[in-house]
């Protein structure tokens, strides 16, 4: 089966989705083992200032080294982790592992980076989520301002307002919040005004629409206007070429991510890039 998960990738678990309970359970068991046997790894993708080409942050993206199936991307297993609630301990592991890495980077006197974490709605609607999050940061001596949480519009609508309450608390503590995949959900302008967010992150599908032959107005323009009107930052994911970069820059997009600059990579490769750069000046030299 080819599952439409937005990555055009082959999804070996789609049988589990359509088929018997036992195959679903086997994935669940595999995920449980993955936690126990340390098969997960956090990769990092650069987030770049589109004007200076300086790396301003990293997004933590989960990878799974399955002993038989090899490298597995989150699109193929996060939904099972969410259904089974295993995303809660998995999410805790991602936070812990990212903090450990970040502490290592900060010892190297690298420029201060902002780290984005993807948070599942299942995590966010837990009553003790905020407390656990803050305790983890304190344990590692990391300031809250280092983190940005990425949540989706649908995620914020869950749990009888618990998700929004939790996010609001985290924001008061100094953590910033981005609405991920923005434009794919269905939030009304009025709910958007009430969400505790700092940034709208334009979904990749809209960035992909930026081509040579653009219509007079496209979705990206509309999102940019919304961000401006609501006084929010605008970020973009899935930037793959200079045309898209230029276009987003003109719309006032303050941070971009995409294969144009680089894919997500293991921590050591990330550290190499960060430490082999001059203290000032761009991290990337792009052709004109």
Alpha-carbon separation of residue 219 from 62, 203, 216, 270 (angstroms) = 29, 10, 10, 33
Distance separating alpha carbons of residues 274 and 106, to the nearest angstrom:
11
Distance separating alpha carbons of residues 180 and 119, to the nearest angstrom:
10
| Residue 238 sits in the site that holds ligand C2E (CB under 6 A) | yes
Measured from the CB of residue 180, what is the shortest distance to ligand C2E in angstroms?
5
- Bridge partners of 45, per DSSP, are 59
Q: By C-beta, is 28 or 237 nearer to Mg ion?
A: 237
Q: By C-beta, is 88 or 225 nearer to ligand C2E?
A: 88
Q: What DSSP designation does 287 have?
A: -
Q: How many residues bind Mg ion (CB under 5 A)?
A: 5
| Residue 10 sits in the site that holds ligand C2E (CB under 6 A) | no
| Residue 148 sits in the site that holds ligand C2E (CB under 6 A) | no
| Residue 32 sits in the site that holds ligand C2E (CB under 6 A) | no
| Residue 94 sits in the site that holds ligand C2E (CB under 6 A) | yes
Q: Beta 114-118 vs 40-48: how paired, if at all?
A: unpaired
| Residue 75 sits in the site that holds ligand C2E (CB under 6 A) | yes
Could you give the 3-state DSSP secondary structure of residue 227? helix
Question: Encoding tokens for residue 40?
Answer: 């997960």
Instruction: List the single partner that 73 binds among ligand C2E, Mg ion, none, CB under 5 to 8 Å by kind.
Output: ligand C2E
Interface region with ligand C2E, contact rule CB under 6 A, candidates 105-113, 154-162, 220-228, 251-259: 251-259
| Residue 180 sits in the site that holds Mg ion (CB under 5 A) | yes
- b vs e for 7-32, b when ≥16 Cβ sit within 10 Å of the residue's Cβ? eeeebebeebeeeeeeebeebbebbe
Q: By C-beta, is 23 or 79 nearer to Mg ion?
A: 79
Measured from the CB of residue 240, what is the shortest distance to Mg ion in angstroms?
14
Q: What is the DSSP string of 46-77?
A: EEE-TTT--EEEEEEEEEEEETTTEEE-GGGT
Interface region with ligand C2E, contact rule CB under 6 A, candidates 126-134, 191-199, 233-241, 271-279: 233-241
Alpha helices by DSSP H, listed for 196-261, are: 204-208, 219-229, 242-250
Residues 6+ apart with CB under 8 A from 73: 7, 9, 63, 64
Instruction: List the single partner that 187 binds among ligand C2E, Mg ion, none, CB under 5 to 8 Å by kind.
Output: none
96-155: contacts with Mg ion (CB under 5 A): 118, 150
Q: Beta 233-236 vs 255-256: how paired, if at all?
A: parallel
| Residue 62 sits in the site that holds ligand C2E (CB under 6 A) | yes
Measured from the CB of residue 7, what is the shortest distance to ligand C2E in angstroms?
6
Instruction: List the single partner that 62 binds among ligand C2E, Mg ion, none, CB under 5 to 8 Å by kind.
Output: ligand C2E
| Residue 259 sits in the site that holds ligand C2E (CB under 6 A) | yes
Measured from the CB of residue 42, what is the shortest distance to Mg ion in angstroms?
13
223-252: contacts with Mg ion (CB under 5 A): 237
Binding site for Mg ion (CB under 5 A): 118, 150, 180-181, 237
């Amino acid at each position: 089966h080819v599952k439409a998960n937005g990555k055009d990738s082959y999804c070996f678990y789609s049988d589990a989705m359509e088929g018997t309970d036992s195959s679903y359970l086997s994935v669940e068991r595999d995920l449980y083992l993955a936690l126990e046997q340390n098969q997960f790894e956090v990769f990092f993708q650069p987030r770049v200032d589109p004007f200076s080409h300086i790396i301003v942050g990293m997004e933590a993206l989960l990878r799974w080294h399955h002993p038989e199936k090899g490298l597995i991307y989150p699109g193929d297993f996060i939904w099972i982790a969410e259904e089974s609630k295993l995303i809660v301990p998995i999410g805790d592991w991602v936070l812990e592992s990212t903090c450990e890495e970040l502490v290592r980077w900060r010892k190297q006197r690298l420029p201060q980076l902002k780290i984005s974490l993807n948070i599942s709605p299942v995590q966010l609607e837990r009553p003790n989520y905020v407390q656990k999050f803050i305790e983890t940061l304190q344990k590692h001596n990391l300031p809250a301002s280092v983190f940005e949480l990425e949540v989706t519009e649908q995620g914020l609508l869950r749990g009888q307002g618990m998700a929004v309450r939790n996010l609001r608390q985290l924001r008061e503590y100094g953590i910033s919040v981005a609405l991920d995949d923005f434009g794919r959900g269905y939030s009304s302008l009025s709910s958007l005004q009430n969400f505790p967010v700092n940034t709208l992150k334009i979904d990749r599908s809209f960035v992909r629409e930026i081509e040579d032959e653009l219509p007079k107005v496209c979705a990206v323009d509309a999102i940019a206007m919304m961000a401006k009107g609501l006084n929010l930052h605008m970020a973009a994911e899935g930037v793959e070429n200079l045309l898209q970069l230029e276009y987003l820059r003109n719309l006032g997009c303050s941070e971009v991510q995409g294969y144009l600059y680089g894919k997500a990579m293991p921590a050591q490769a990330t550290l190499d890039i960060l430490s082999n750069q001059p203290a000032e000046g761009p991290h990337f030299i792009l052709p004109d």
